[in-house]
Amino acid sequence: MRTAIYPGSFDPVTLGHLNIIRRASTIFDKVVVCCMVNSAKMGWFTLDERVDMLKRVTSRYINVTIDSSDILIGEYAKRFEGAVLLKGLRALSDFESEFSMAHINKKINSTLDTVFLTSDEKYTFLSSSAVKELARYEADLTHFVPREILDDVREKSKKMR
């Protein structure tokens, strides 16, 4: 069984993330979406809230599971024999940073390879940071986040103003 681990902060999960998850679910036997703690980012949503949102938006994919971790992804991946890391790329700048991280992860876990999926072109501009900025200004988010979590993002935005 070939397993892909798709790590990220998912704060919040976007339609771009969901596009990568959907496509990965057709390529791999199992996709583990791992909601990570990122010490460099100040998030809007708690880890539990992000996991809950991910579970709601991926419930239709039978081979996708949601997990969370506060350890390095290279260490986390050791739990899954033969797993690969899955990273979505929006632009060349994503590749540069992800390429470096792939080598670091390989040093941590010598059996861990990283596979890159390019974003669908309609999501190349989309990031969680952009969604939060749009939400602050009460913009229409229907083209940016899954419908299952629209209200969550809107409510959190009100609290963050």
79 is catalytic: no
Catalytic residue among 17, 50, 87, 132: 17
60 is catalytic: no
Alpha carbon distance 83, 70 (integer Å): 19
90 is catalytic: yes
Catalytic residue among 25, 69, 119, 128: 128
128 is catalytic: yes
- Write 119-125 long-range contacts (CB < 8 A, 24+): 119/16, 119/19, 119/20, 119/88, 119/89, 119/90, 120/16, 120/19, 123/14, 123/15, 123/16, 123/19, 123/90, 124/90, 124/91, 125/90
Catalytic residue among 55, 90, 106, 127: 90
Catalytic residues: 17, 41, 90, 128
